[in-house]
Amino acid sequence: IDAHPNLSDTAPVALSYELFPPRSPAAAETLWTTIRELETTEPDYVSVTYGASGSNRDTAVELINRLLLETTLRPLAHLTCVGNSPQELAGIVGELLDTGVRGILALRGDLPKDASAPAAGSLRYAQDLIELIRRVEQRRSALLCAGKIAVGVAAYPSRHPESPSEEHDVEVLLAKQRSGADFAITQVFFETRQYADLLTRARRAGVTIPIIPGVMPLTSLRRLKRLGELTGVEPAPQLMARLAAAGSDLERLHIGVDATVDLANAALDAGAPGIHIYTFNEHQSALEVLDKLALPRRSRPGSRRASGAAQLAG
Ligand code: FAD
C-alpha cells in the first residue's frame, strides 16, 4: 500500500480527528498524550463527541475549553438534540459560542433503547437543530462579526438504521443542506466503493456541500464488533477473519492500517475534500494511517492551518 498516486496533482486535503471526552482521570491522561501527538500533524480541526441527551456535557465542555486554551487545535463541538428542549439547546449553543467555539456538528443523537421517536418537547431531527443554531447565530450576529458558525452534519454511506432507503438518507442530507449545513462527515464504512456511491447519489440529488469521509483505524476486532452493534454497519467479514487470525498485535495493526488506507485512498480517488479519522482517543494507528496516506496539506499560516472544507476559521 502506498501513498495516494495522484498526490502531486491534487488540491490540499483537510484533516480532522474525532475525540471523545474522557471518563476517568486515567483516560484523561491518555487522551492528552494523544492530543499532543495529533497536534503535531496540524489538523484543521478536532471534533469532540457529545452523549445523546447531554449525558457527558460537563466533560465535553471541559475538553473543548482546554483545547481552546491550551492547544493550537480548533474544536468542532458535536451537539445532539434528542432529549433536550429547544430552550435548553439554545442555551447550550450560546454557551459554546461564549467559550469560543465556532464549529458545531449538529446531530439528532441515538434514541433511547425503548423509544421509537424523540420525547415530546424535544426537537425531532438534526435538521431542526441546524435551524435553531442558525437562529442563535442570527441573534448573536454582533459577536460573530469575524465569520459565521460552521455547521456540520452526519451523512450515511450505508442506510441509517431507521431510514427506509439510502435514497431517503440523501433526501435528508439535502434537507440538512437547505436548513444551513455547511459540510457533512460520514458514518464509518467498510467497503471501498461506499463513499463514491454516496457522493454520486448526493450530487445527483442536488447536495453540493463537502462530504468528508469518516474513517476509523480498522485495527481492533472488539471495537469493530461493538461498532457494528451501535451503528448497524456490519464490518467486512474478510477483514474480521484476517484480524482474528493475526499472530500478534503488531500484525493486527498492519492489517488494520492497510485496510483503512485502502478505504481513505478510494475516497480520495472519488474526490473526498478531506479525511476525518475516528481516533477512539488513540494516536498510534491514526498516525500510522496518516503516514501511509501522505496527504497533500495546506501550509499553516502562523499556528493556524487554513481549511476550505470546514470553514472553522474563527
Ligand atoms: P437525522 O439526520 O435527524 O436523522 C435521524 C433519522 O430521521 C434518520 O433515519 C433519517 O432518515 C430521519 N430523518 C431525518 N430528517 C428527516 C425528515 N426531515 N423527514 C423524514 N425523516 C427524517 N451520536 C451521539 O449521540 N453523539 C455524537 O457525538 C455523535 N457523533 C456522530 C458523528 C458522526 C460523524 C456521525 C455520522 C454520527 C454521530 N452520532 C453521534 C450518531 C448519530 O447521532 C446517530 O446516527 C443518530 O441516529 C442520527 O443522527 P442524525 O444527526 O443523522 O439524525
Ligand 1 contact, 19 CB (< 6 A): no
- Model confidence at 308: pLDDT above 50: no
Instruction: Dump pLDDT digits (tens) for 161-177.
Output: 999 999 999 999 999 99
What number is the average pLDDT over the span 181-191?
96
Q: pLDDT tens-digit profile of 25-52? A: 999 999 999 999 999 999 999 999 998 7
Taking the centre of ligand 1 as the mean of its atom positions, its distance from the CA of residue 180, in whole angstroms, is: 16
CA of 179 to the centre of ligand 1 (A): 15
Say if residue 5's pLDDT is above 60.
no
CA distance 3 to 206: 32
CA atoms within 13 A on the CB side of 249: 3
The active-site residue, picked from 18, 131, 282, 288, is 18
Confidence class for position 145, pLDDT limits 50, 70, 90: low
**Cβ of 171 below 6 Å from ligand 1:** no
Q: How far away, in angstroms, is 86 Cα from ligand 1 center?
A: 17
For residue 8, report the distance from its CA to the centre of ligand 1, in Å: 36
Q: Look up the pTM and report it.
A: 0.92
CA 240 – CA 97 distance, rounded (Å): 42
Distances in Å between the alpha carbon of 84 and those of 87, 103, 123, 230?
Answer: 8, 20, 7, 22
Spatial separation of the C-alpha atoms in residues 79 and 210, rounded to whole Å: 20
Q: Is the pLDDT of residue 311 over 90?
A: no
In this predicted structure, the answer to whether residue 126 has a pLDDT above a threshold of 60 is: yes
Closest ligand 1 atom to Cα of 50: 28
Averaged pLDDT, 10-34:
94
Closest CA to 253 of 283, 293, 297: 283
pLDDT in tens, 88-97: 999 999 999 9
DSSP assignment of 105-156: EEE--PPPTT-SSPPTTS--SHHHHHHHHHHHHHHTTTTTTT-PPEEEEEE-
What band does 306 get if pLDDT is binned at 50, 70 and 90? very low
Q: How many Å apart are CA 147 and CA 103, to the nearest integer?
A: 11
Task: State if residue 125 touches ligand 1 by the CB under 6 angstroms criterion.
Answer: yes
Task: Please indicate whether residue 18 is annotated as part of the active site.
Answer: yes
Given a cut of 90, whether residue 313 has pLDDT beyond it is no
* Distance separating alpha carbons of residues 227 and 108, to the nearest angstrom: 18
pLDDT, one tens digit per residue, over 199-219 is 999 999 999 999 999 999 999
Question: Three cell numbers at 87?
Answer: 430552550
